[in-house]
Copies of this chain bind each other. A is one copy, B any other.
Amino acid sequence: MVRTLTTVWMALFFILLTAGFGATAEAPVSEATSECLDCHSISHPGIVKDWRDSRHATRTPKQGLAVEKLARRVSSESIPENLQTTVVGCAECHTLRPDKHADTVEHNGYRVHVVVSPPDCATCHSTEAGQYAGNIMSHAHNNLAENKLYRQLETSIIGKSRIVGGRVEYQRPDALTQADACYYCHGTKLKVTGLEIRDTELAGELEFAVIEGWPNQGVGRINLDGSQGACSACHTRHTFSIEMARKPYTCKECHVGPDVPAFPVYAASKHGNIFSSLGQDWDFKAVPWTIGKDIGAPTCATCHISLLVNPDGEVITERTHQMNNRLSWRIYGLIYAHPHPLEPDTTIIRNNSGLPLPTDLDGGFASKYLIGKEEMQKRTAEMQSICLSCHSDSWVKGHWTKFENTIARTDAEIKTATEIMQSIWKDGLALGLAKNSNPFDEAIEKQWHLTWLFYANSIRFTSAMAGGGDYGVFAGGRYQLSLAIAGMSDWYRERKQPNVGK
């Protein structure tokens, strides 16, 4: 008898629980989106599920605007009336600004485009879109494609090899290889090349745009409205989950290799250990994110992007999608570490030799194009304000001193490697920039770029994240750096003085 009663209560309990969650399902869906769902919930159930799981499916922009400032996810001050009272569904995004998108087609009575761009998202999230336009990541396509030296590095890696006169020569890579390799992360340049009719199961013949460079979610994608960037690189369609964007796996998609080993270093750091061990109980959805309540250690987003408050609700740091607001040093991707560029468009940079590089070959800065000391200090202070939520002043200071020493030390090692390389070039044992040659494509030149493109980076990332010895030493760090420099030195000595040292 008692059991029966309990069963009744339990049943009620679960009904109510379910009802509680289900309530959001009553949020108003626009007629246009309803029509989309009619077909696509059958033909593409996966993405419809994603969307149904999303906040977009259960809140209207009007509700979003009513939220108090710090907890608000919608940053635009005003949102068009016609979008305010239905949830953000298929049609709300894919029919925005139809005249701007080259891939807009007539689709069951609607003018629909496939590729949603940051200016579309800016309808509700204008602050973030604006910040992201100032983020060097939004320029990732052009910064690579429009820099002659970087293009040469690209060619030396993903170009088509052939043997000419006993030597490897590289031709420019084809567009599909570029899209599959460098531009997967950097973003492709999309282009509508035509229209095609396809016979669909549910709606008969329909017209679609044929898009070169598609699919792609690279961070600096050139969109069909001419804009740069892809919000979906991190805010994965169609859940647009803040939980996902805040977890380090999202950053890992492009930051896992030895060129920029942010994820493996994080995962091996104390912070990553705490996340992996105890993170299952944290709150990754709370806005704002409260240190001392929601999480027990930072993820990538915590330090680089998120709005953080303390348990009293006081702001520790503001949200940013520019991302380098809290970064003084640029520690990877180029020959030497250097202060962050002033502008997200890095193609304008010239060093003292006129090369499109932020440093000279001896490490000197192209200072005109880089932030100054004051700005570096400001950004350092911003980052440290986060560290100081959990660490004492002496801890943070001690950490930073080590980090800046490591920047100086890795730069000194790279200078040793670069001097060997320059001697090799000078003695004509490799071509370098002579005769318009590609300075990155000979075997010994590849040994040289390994030292800075991989090893010095790994060491600095490890130091930056206080990430344990391994990635800074044995796992692509100082061990491999010292091995490569010793190898370059031997290579040079044996070819310069073939009878010495044998």
Binding site for B on A (CB under 8 A): 2-3, 6-7, 9-10, 12-13, 15-16, 41-50, 53, 114, 156-163, 166-168, 170, 174, 176-177, 179-186, 198, 208-211, 214-215, 217, 236, 239, 241, 243-244, 247, 249-250, 252-259, 267-270, 272-274, 276-278, 280, 291-293, 296-297, 310-312, 388-395, 398-399, 401-403, 405-406, 409, 412-413, 416, 419-420, 429, 441-444, 446, 450, 453-454, 462-463, 466, 468-475, 477-479, 482-483, 485-487, 489-490, 492-493, 495-498, 500-502
Contacts and interface: CB of A to CB of B under 8 A. Distances in A.
B405 A180 contact: yes
A50 B296 CA distance: 6
B470 A176 contact: no
A473 to B, nearest CB: 5
A202 to B, nearest CB: 12
| A interface: dominant SS | helix
A468 B185 contact: yes
Nearest to A238: B390
Instruction: List 3 tightest A-B contacts by C-beta distance, closest first.
Output: A45-B292, A46-B390, A257-B470
B473 A293 contact: no
A498 to B, nearest CB: 7
B6 A394 contact: no
Contact of A280 (B161, B170, B280, B487): B280
A237 B214 CA distance: 44
Each complex incorporates copies of this chain amounting to 3
20 contacts: A6-B9, A44-B391, A44-B392, A45-B292, A45-B310, A161-B416, A163-B489, A176-B401, A177-B405, A179-B402, A181-B478, A184-B469, A214-B395, A239-B278, A250-B277, A254-B470, A257-B471, A442-B490, A443-B489, A446-B483
Contacts of A156: 482
Most buried by B among A181, A253, A276, A493: A181
Contact of A478 (B158, B252, B392): B158
A273 B250 contact: yes
B184 A472 contact: yes
Contacts of A419: 163
Given A42-B310, A256-B475, A215 B184 contact: no
Contact of A181 (B114, B268, B472): B472
A418 B184 CA distance: 28
Nearest to A232: B270
Contact of A473 (B181, B198, B490, B497): B181
B16 A7 contact: yes
A486 B416 contact: no
A43 B311 CA distance: 10
Given A10-B16, A161-B482, A492-B166, A469 B277 contact: no
B6 A409 contact: no
A255 B473 CA distance: 12
Nearest to A176: B405
Contact of A6 (B13, B247, B280, B401): B13
Contacts of A475: 256-258
A276 B402 CA distance: 33
A442 B485 CA distance: 10
Contacts of A41: 292, 311
